[in-house]
Structure 1
């Protein structure tokens, strides 16, 4: 941040702001637009793509007062608006991503195929990609990251959201010579029975999408978030669904417990010599936020760590007791454009994915309603297990039709469903499995 603010100030003084396009104009997109306009010198949000262009227009008008907003359907029209310095909105994320004059795009929809139209085009046309879309990243992020590396651009999740905050903390811990062995997320609630009906009031109170809020509550979001941390570090999960210590589950009125108490609950599941695990806890204080457990094998450094009040080990606790979401996203853009540095990106093939699990008894012939709905929730699982058992990724479940009845709590398999025709994310998932050797290659493949 200290380096970034200096570099951005220099761009502002030179009259060369980083120019950004955004896909999505919902709750988080509105916050990002406001943050760039109010607080980030040396950066300009130039274009927004959204299914509802009136919503995109409102985002611009709420952040850049008194400026006319242009509507465009074609890439050349969007490029012209960017050259003219006029904010522009469009329905087509691919047209936006292909426009000349943009350095990066921010994807903030939570969608799959719609988001991909912008992400794929941005990579193909040499633009950096910043995602606030854990669902897409946790489904096919390793493939997209490999494509971005080949194109010479940065593909990254965002600072401010829990995965990015975890990765920043991991890098700090590694930087002082401590080995991270667990990356953790702090939650206030985990209940797989939550549905849009139970979460509607909360969503309305805060002006958020009810499906997104439901995915927070039923555990799907935490599964995706920890999956992308695993993919960015090489870590794994200790078991399906993670450990997720939750002392408040049987007694919601129980007082919050110090985060230090959870170290003992997690310690038996940690192999200090292994690649590390991702996990979460519920009901910790301070929270919300993220934490990292690390080890050190030098007795002299252990002595110093004890002196500095981190205890006697074997696990040392580091934590960040907040995550500031949209406030930090512009910093991710600056890291990518100015320093080619990703906040969090897959390092190779998938380590952990998210599998669809029945939230209630499901009947043959029903069509799955997707993430944050009434029918399924996501659980984190190691990718080799997913591939071997042909488990259905949560990111592919929406719109799938059930071939057989599934009982509550059962995980779904590819063989249990007919996927929607023409799904781009499903096509790329198959490509990702082949790229990283997760499924046998067909005879004669090359």
Structure 2
């Protein structure tokens, strides 16, 4: 982003020290972020510590980014010594990073919910900015965490590069033109709710990713979380559970695909989040907007956006880890969030059965074999007792559930003592929604 690059250059030249980043996760995307910071932003930004359940992966991520001096740390004192000495600090315990005074920004890159929320909450409580490459957590507890970050005077944000952040940037750009956004959209190449880690195994191996993670891309869970994050920032909702999710012939120009949405539907209400499968250019994002002034309509027609009343703006790519440092800099230097909830939840992601489920089965990981996620209006989710998929993992089925049915709290027994359930109840109370488990 223009302005951020100048600010980072001035920071590097000033010698005042880099922005100190602590990262949780050392997988495919996290290692890319580390590589990007080490090769592009040296002197202005530094990943001082990485936490991962398998420390060897964090050591390898540092080595692949040109840093082979990793030190394993099992205490706060050891972490502090390693960071102060300029070494790459590696730990199994994310709380050491979340509470360290040597960290300015916590970057969470695991895609987990229950395991991630404790360190994120601790980082906020210890006065750190928090950047998520984790729409699963943001879509489950983002409104509450944003409220807590506001109270602590720190930034809570999802990242540039991931689709929600790119959509958030585009939404702000369109609003800045004086055009009213009426739809925020995501461009997908595949959508099949019945995909599993078995069907996605070969693709995952080809790209060095986890089968469950790429399954969540294919089965709609990931895009649902991404669009829920966008809805919670913009105040938008969904046209229906699961969105319209139009599918077009591969390569159909986005400007043509955008005509599938009914202008009459878009022009009323707060706007909607949605996605399209097969449009080009992909995998980008788009915003549909409207403007009433006839002279401005004339100008937009001149600039090849058509006669209206709906105009299509798009970003033809999202570059994931390449853009994450921009979010870190925006938070640390400008106190600006790329994308964050504006208030209470507008859209939730509910769990839906991938097949006929039997009593006694335990819901597996996101992108697993039992459930997929779809967007639903937050008020309807609360009213109907629907089970958010971010809460569903680890739950035991109390009764049979038919394929494609939405799971409810009454269908399952939740694991005891989880922080996510406590915080969901707190979020519901804060924003006047029905208590999560009632």
Q: With structure 1 as the length reference, what TM-score do the two structures score?
A: 0.96
> Contact conserved, 1:302 with 1:313, CA < 8 A, in 2?
yes
> Which of 277, 283, 289 is matched with 1:288 structurally?
283
Q: Which moved more, 1:124-133 or 1:257-266?
A: 257-266
Q: Residue 287 of structure 1: CA displacement?
A: 1.0
- How far apart, in 1, do the equivalents of 2:69 and 2:300 lie? 57
- How far apart, in 2, do the equivalents of 1:286 and 1:59 lie? 32
- How far apart, in 2, do the equivalents of 1:426 and 1:440 lie? 10
* 1:272 aligned partner: 267
CA-atom RMSD, angstroms?
Answer: 1.3
* 1:48 aligned partner: 50
> Which of 388, 399, 403 is matched with 2:398 structurally?
403
* 2:60 aligned partner: 58
1:292-331 equivalences under 5 Å are 292-331=287-326
Aligned with 1:283: secondary structure?
A: strand
Aligned with 1:247: secondary structure?
A: strand
Q: Residue 342 of structure 1: CA displacement?
A: 0.1
* 1:30 aligned partner: 31
* 1:13 aligned partner: 13
> Which of 377, 388, 393 is matched with 2:388 structurally?
393
- How far apart, in 1, do the equivalents of 2:259 and 2:318 lie? 24
- How far apart, in 1, do the equivalents of 2:48 and 2:261 lie? 46
> Contact conserved, 1:238 with 1:269, CA < 8 A, in 2?
no
Q: Residue 76 of structure 1: CA displacement?
A: 2.5
- In structure 1, stretches of 5+ residues that fail to align are 249-254
1:354 equivalent to 2:349? Answer yes
- How far apart, in 1, do the equivalents of 2:144 and 2:8 lie? 31
Q: Which moved more, 1:107-116 or 1:170-179?
A: 107-116
> Which of 352, 369, 374 is matched with 2:369 structurally?
374
1:119-268 equivalences under 5 Å are 119-248=120-249, 255-268=250-263
Aligned with 2:168: secondary structure?
A: helix
Aligned with 1:172: secondary structure?
A: helix
Aligned with 1:322: secondary structure?
A: coil
Superimposed CA distance per residue, residues 216-273 of structure 1 (whole angstroms, 9 cap, x where no aligned partner)? 000000000000000011000000000000134xxxxxx4211122222112573314
- How far apart, in 2, do the equivalents of 1:134 and 1:6 lie? 29
Aligned with 1:292: secondary structure?
A: strand
Q: Residue 80 of structure 1: CA displacement?
A: 2.3
1:333 equivalent to 2:333? Answer no
Q: Which moved more, 1:146-155 or 1:256-265?
A: 256-265
- How far apart, in 1, do the equivalents of 2:71 and 2:93 lie? 14
- How far apart, in 2, do the equivalents of 1:311 and 1:107 lie? 41
Q: Residue 425 of structure 1: CA displacement?
A: 1.1
- How far apart, in 1, do the equivalents of 2:202 and 2:346 lie? 36
* 1:251 aligned partner: none
1:116 equivalent to 2:111? Answer no
Q: Residue 170 of structure 1: CA displacement?
A: 0.6
4+ aligned runs moved over 4 Å, structure 1: none
Q: Residue 370 of structure 1: CA displacement?
A: 2.7
Q: With structure 2 as the length reference, what TM-score do the two structures score?
A: 0.97
Q: Residue 115 of structure 1: CA displacement?
A: 1.2
> Which of 411, 415, 437 is matched with 1:416 structurally?
411
- How far apart, in 2, do the equivalents of 1:166 and 1:270 lie? 21
> Contact conserved, 1:400 with 1:420, CA < 8 A, in 2?
yes
Would you say how many aligned residue pairs link Structure 1 and Structure 2? Answer: 435
* 2:106 aligned partner: 105
> Contact conserved, 1:18 with 1:44, CA < 8 A, in 2?
yes
Aligned with 2:282: secondary structure?
A: coil
- In structure 2, stretches of 5+ residues that fail to align are none
Q: Residue 440 of structure 1: CA displacement?
A: 6.2
- Closer/same/farther in 2, CA of residues 89 and 441 from structure 1, 3 Å limit: closer
Aligned with 2:123: secondary structure?
A: helix
Aligned with 2:31: secondary structure?
A: helix
> Contact conserved, 2:425 with 2:436, CA < 8 A, in 1?
no
* 1:252 aligned partner: none
Superimposed CA distance per residue, residues 142-187 of structure 1 (whole angstroms, 9 cap, x where no aligned partner)? 0000000000000000000111000100111011100000000000
> Contact conserved, 1:187 with 1:282, CA < 8 A, in 2?
yes
- Closer/same/farther in 2, CA of residues 83 and 393 from structure 1, 3 Å limit: same
